[in-house]
Chains A and B, each alone.
Chain A
Amino acid sequence: MEYVSPEGLRLDGRRPMEMRQIRAEIGAVSNADGSAVFEMGNTKVIAAVYGPREVQNRSQQINDQALVRCEYSMANFSTGDRMRKPKGDRRSTEISLVIRQTMEACILTHLMPRSQIDIFVQVLQADGGTRSACINAATLALADAGIPMRDIVTSCSAGFLNSTPLLDLNYVEDSAGGPDVTVGILTKLDKVTLLQMDSKLPMDIFENVMQLAIEGCKAIANYIREVMLENTKELEYRRGI
């Protein structure tokens, strides 16, 4: 199948190095300590953070740092045909683990000893790149909950189809079976916290693809930062003196 037309356009009309439209909104769940909705094109994810709060299961309590937990689930209506089991299958446990490890690396857990932080992410619409969207949403929600973090983590995917590197794959491109690199970076520190790849790539091409994904992460980070700053300013002026 042809994923990049001779004119250099992808199936959804994007250029190879073009990202889908992103939109973020803070404060979607009123009962949570922090929450956010993150959209990348047709992929839509909601994240809610509870905590730091008292550890529910005493035996899991850690005496010098916070316990971070994460649950990833997909809504029944998120995919083309309805999901039977929205969570608890092998794929979602793996993604929960990935998100947990990525977020734990950037939260300053030692500042909140003997407490727990719960991150719940749910996919409302799945159109490829849910993993990255979830990480971006979780970052926003954690910042909204006022949890101290080392840096902003953002994530973006990139692929390689028809011998062209493609940024931010959608569902059709993702299911083509080509290589799919998901990268998560700490933007200010310029460090990689997450790197996953399906199938194989030659070394030199891999470098290009990864560089492309990193550029994507940085673009997302700029946007996320804008959203957070706007939100902070709004809270401050509304509160008044």
Chain B
Amino acid sequence: MRELRDLQLPLNQTQKIRLRRALQQLQDLASKASSSASVTVADTIPVNHEDGVLKGHGTSELDGEVVATLCGVVERVNKLVYVRALRARYKPETGDIIVGRVTEVAQKRWRLEINFSQDAILMLSSMNLPDGIQRRRTAVDELNMRSIFEESDVICAEVRGFQHDGSLHLQARSQKYGKLERGQLLTVPPYLVKRRKQHFHHVEKFAVDLILGCNGFIWVGEHVEARDNMVEDQDNKSEQQNSKLNTRSLRLEEQESTYTPVETRQSICRIANAVRVLSSLGFSLNVEVIMGTVEQSISLNLDIHEMLGAEFCVQIAEREVERRSSLTKKRR
């Protein structure tokens, strides 16, 4: 059984039984709610050939039968039949909001690791310059690329689409995108993050930003006000250029602006641990569930490190059962 592959928890006997019962209840709820068919590699998918079938992702044809090439769930949309894979790498779709890490600064572009089968490309021309002016990118801009993003920086961007040569391009044409600082990056399996209207969340209570990247990279960091301090930076920069780059004063300013209060750091860790617990249990992630987990840990008066313990994990599983059963009741 695939119990808790990330957290190797020492569960005692009662906790084991409670967890098993909670998972059993989840299974019952899921089987009641839908009759989706799971398939494995090389299983035949029953289709009605008279209606005409369009074979989608994860399927192939063999002797006139539709056969799955992945393990997952069969989905049918009109004539289209496809297999939705569960544990797999991220599959980009245009407009997805993603979080990635810079692996390389190359000619006019950055390469980003985004948990896809290739690195994504963010062109210098497809992002807003710090000064916010629309103009052609000059050779000087190209030389100053490292002042915008360096290797191993964490960046938030949007998927622009596939180019003709099959490479994946990103864009960051808004103030909300850009470098992410002062926080934690978590990686979860991408199937746990659903595409929604809103992926940027500002948790006002803790002054924390939460970005649920579609690629399973989750950012928890200190709240940044509207992310338009870039313009200010530019003012500073132009002044500095006038004063021939007084780097030392910049360092001091940086230190001041990078100070994060202890409470904020603690709430970042708390939210991050909530995400860790949920993803190790394999529950889908959204803000409500994450914040509910955080609230519960606070109401139980748990320390941050205790959130990764066995007891809390079992409680979260039980909580999820309650939440889902109340959801299904409401529907009826």
Measured CB to CB, the residues of A under 8 A from B are: 26-28, 30, 33-34, 51-54, 66, 108, 112-115, 143-152, 187-189, 225, 228-229, 231-241
> In the complex the two chains form, what is the Cα distance from A229 to B2 in whole Å?
13
CB atoms of B88 and A145 under 8 A apart:
yes
A234 touching B118, Cβ below 8 Å: no
Check B87–A238 contact: CB distance below 8 A: no
How far apart are the CA atoms of A147 and B88 in the complex, in Å? 7
Instruction: Determine the residue in chain A with the shortest Cβ distance to B34.
Output: A241
Extra contacts, 13 of them, besides A33-B87, A143-B41, A232-B38 (Cβ < 8 A), are A53-B118, A108-B69, A115-B117, A146-B72, A146-B86, A146-B89, A149-B41, A151-B42, A152-B41, A189-B62, A231-B71, A232-B86, A237-B26
Give the A-B pair count, Cβ closer than 8 A: 131
Contact: B117 with A236, CB < 8 Å?
A: no
Q: Are B86 and A236 in contact (CB under 8 A)?
A: yes
Q: Report chain A residues within 8 Å CB of B320.
A: 240
A54 / chain B contacts, CB cutoff of 8 Å: 103, 113, 117-119
Q: How large is the interface on B (under 10, 10 to 19, 20 to 34, 35 or more residues)?
A: 35 or more
Nearest CB of B to A58, in Å: 11
Contact A151 B41 (CB under 8 A): yes
List A contacts of B322 (CB < 8 A): none
The interface residues of chain A lying within 8 Å CB-to-CB of B6 are 30
Is B192 within 8 A of A239, CB to CB?
A: yes
Task: Name the distance in Å between B100's Cβ and chain A's nearest Cβ.
Answer: 12
Nearest first, the 7 closest Cβ-Cβ pairs linking A and B are A146-B88, A52-B117, A237-B30, A238-B282, A115-B117, A148-B69, A228-B40
Given the known inter-chain contacts A112-B117, A143-B40, A228-B40, please indicate yes or no for A239 contacting B283, CB distance below 8 A: yes
Contacts of B133 in A (CB 8 A): none
Provide the B291-332 mask, 1 if CB < 8 A to any CB of A, else 0: 000000000000000000000000000001000100100000
| Listed A/B pairs (29) with beta-carbon separation below 8 Å | A26-B2, A34-B87, A51-B117, A53-B117, A54-B119, A112-B117, A114-B117, A143-B70, A144-B87, A145-B89, A146-B70, A148-B69, A149-B69, A151-B41, A152-B42, A187-B42, A188-B42, A188-B62, A229-B71, A232-B38, A232-B73, A234-B2, A234-B282, A235-B86, A236-B36, A237-B27, A239-B86, A239-B192, A241-B284
Within the complex, the shortest CB–CB distance from B3 to chain A, in Å, comes to 9
Chain B residues closer than 8 Å to A150, beta-carbon distance? 42, 60, 69
Contact A228 B31 (CB under 8 A): no
Q: Which of B33, B60, B87 contacts A146 (CB 8 A)?
A: B87
